[in-house]
């Protein structure tokens, strides 16, 4: 596997309110675009209170390596998440990009779902609801 530069492929800011889908000229552009959105999703979830404890995680399947997904590292608060914090993990649990530990629950849950639906470009979310009346919430997004 080649070394992945997550800073490569940065695109200019689009016009606010644009509903035109983003077009990518390279895998690097697509990866960077979606990693920026993944990091911002963590910060948005924190803003709305879905950041209690260490149980939540969001993953995104890599556009080039379909048997790998990007996930938040263990112990980094949602509100502080940056692209540089994200980990690229194989379906076997090997961290191939990043230097922090992966959340074992995130790997156990998300790797199985990514493997089961390998024909879809998925982003998966697992969070605890703030009032804890609903213990776990899941969402699956096809990109």
Average pLDDT, the chain: 79
pLDDT in tens, 5-40: 777 777 777 677 777 778 889 999 999 999 999 999
- Helix then strand then coil, % of the chain, to nearest 5: 30, 20, 50
Instruction: Compute the distance between CA of residue 76 and CA of residue 27 in angstroms, rounded to an integer.
Output: 27
> What is the tally of helices (H) and strands (E) in the chain?
2, 6
Query: What letter does residue 83 receive in the DSSP assignment?
Result: G
Among 35-39, 42-46, 51-55, 139-143, the minimum mean pLDDT is found in 139-143
37-45: average pLDDT: 90
Query: What letter does residue 92 receive in the DSSP assignment?
Result: T
Band the pLDDT of 128: cuts 50, 70, 90.
Answer: low
Question: How crowded is residue 143: how many other Cβ atoms within 10 Å of its Cβ?
Answer: 12
Model pTM greater than 0.75?
yes
């Amino acid at each position: 596997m080649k070394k992945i530069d997550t800073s490569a492929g940065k695109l200019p800011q689009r016009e606010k309110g644009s509903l035109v889908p983003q077009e990518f000229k390279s895998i690097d552009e697509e990866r960077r675009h979606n990693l920026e959105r993944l990091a911002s999703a963590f910060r948005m979830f924190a803003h709305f209170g879905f950041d209690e404890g260490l149980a939540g995680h969001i993953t995104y399947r890599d556009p080039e390596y379909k048997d790998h997904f990007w996930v938040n590292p263990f112990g980094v608060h949602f509100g502080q998440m940056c692209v540089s914090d994200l980990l690229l993990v194989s379906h076997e649990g090997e961290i191939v990009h990043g230097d922090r530990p992966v959340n074992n629950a995130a790997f156990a849950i998300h790797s199985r779902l990514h493997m089961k639906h390998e024909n879809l470009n998925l982003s998966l979310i697992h969070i605890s609801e703030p009032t804890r009346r609903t213990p776990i919430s899941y969402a699956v997004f096809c990109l």
